[in-house]
Each structure stands twice: as structure tokens, then as C-alpha cells.
Amino acid sequence: MEKEERLIKKTRIKKIPEAITEDEFLKIIRAVKKKHHKIAFILGFYGCMRISEIVNLKPENIDRGQRLIRIKQAKGHKDRNIPLPPQATRGLSHIPLKCGIRALEIAFKSYSKKVLGKDSYFHILRHSGATHYLNKKKWSIRQVQQLLGHSKIQTTEIYTHVTPQILIEKMWED
């Protein structure tokens, strides 16, 4: 019986989180009271950063001169550099954050429910940011792959969503 249960768990298909739009994200940001939550959410969306990367971020990892965030020992024990999102520059004084992973997860879920009426998880910010750069900012899939720190382009493809609105706009282009 144990072997069957393990096999079932292994073969379950993971549900990919839906993305939120930049407008939806900005509605959430406008409702956020605590500045350290606001900068964390901004880094999650515009920096496409994982929650653990945000919580572990230190002031010395931010190079304002080169406009880079140096992420140390991220998933897979990899380091990577990402561009400093312009939207994050005013909130960098709140790094390091004064809260942990679970507190951020609870805060984001609460704001998402209150503002959008959606039961969303913090990781949706990473998906949504990737989708934003690909669809709205017209970044190439390769550029988004570099930002996310994926070694395989197939992983990046999972992170990007084509919204119905994008399809409608493409259909009606001249």
C-alpha cells in the first residue's frame, strides 16, 4: 500500500498558479500598510524573486551603482545577478526585512483575498512578473529565463502565462 501511495504522489500533476496582472498587483500594493511587506511584494513581482531570496537579501547584496541585486545561494545553491527593479529603489532601506517567510506568505494571501477576492500564494508574484515581462514588456523568453535563473528554457515556459486579453489583442492587431 505504501508503494502505491508514493507512486500516486509522484504522478500527481501540480497545478500551475494563475498569474495576476500588473494592475491587480498595483491594487494590492496600494492597500499594503507595512513598508517591509510592500518592498517584499515589489521584489517578488518586478524582481521575480523567490520568497526565500527576498527574506535572505542583505544590503550588501544590492549594488545601486550597477543597478544589480546579487542573489547568493539561491535554489540549487546557485548565485545570480538580476537587475534592480526601478520600482524597488525607494524601499531598499527596509532590507533586510523584519519578517520571515511564513509572515510574508500570510500577509500576501491576506491582501490578495481582501483586495482581489483571490486566494493567492506569494509565489504567484514570480509567475506574474515573468508573464508581465514576456507579454507586456516584450522581453524574449531567453531574457526571462536569465532573470528567473532557470537552467532550462522549459522551466521558464511553465512560469509564463498567456492571458485571454493578450490573445484578444493579438487577434485584433492590424
Which residue type does 52 have? S
Rounded to two decimals, the pTM is 0.86
Q: What is the pLDDT of residue 14?
A: 53
Whether 126 sits among the annotated catalytic residues: the reply is yes
The whole-number pLDDT of residue 7 equals 47
Which residue is catalytic, options 132, 133, 159, 161? 159
What pLDDT score was predicted for residue 130?
A: 95
* Cα–Cα distance, 166 to 164 (Å, whole number): 5
pLDDT value of residue 60: 96
Options 75, 78, 113, 142, the catalytic residue: 75
Amino acid (1-letter code) at residue 92: L
Q: What pLDDT sits at residue 11?
A: 46
CB-based burial of residue 112 (10 Å sphere; 0-12 exposed, 13-18 middle, 19+ buried)?
Answer: buried
Which residues have C-beta within 8 Å of that of residue 88, sequence separation ≥ 6? 39, 42, 43, 46, 47
Check if 159 is active-site: yes
Q: Which of 36, 37, 38, 126 is catalytic?
A: 126
Q: Which of 37, 38, 132, 150 is catalytic?
A: 150
Nine-digit cell at 82?
Answer: 538580476
Set out the domains of the chain in order of their start, with CATH numbers. 17-171 (1.10.443.10)
| pLDDT value of residue 76 | 77
The residue ranges of the chain whose pLDDT is under 70 are 1-17
Q: At what angle do helices 124-131 and 22-31 cross, to 10 degrees?
A: 130
Name the catalytic one among 36, 38, 50, 132: 50
75 given a catalytic annotation:
yes
Q: How many angstroms separate the first and last alpha carbons of the chain? A: 59
Identify the pLDDT of residue 12. Answer: 46
Residue type, 136: K
Position 15 scores a pLDDT of 58
Is 150 among the catalytic positions?
A: yes
Alpha carbon 137 to its chain centroid, in Å, reads: 15
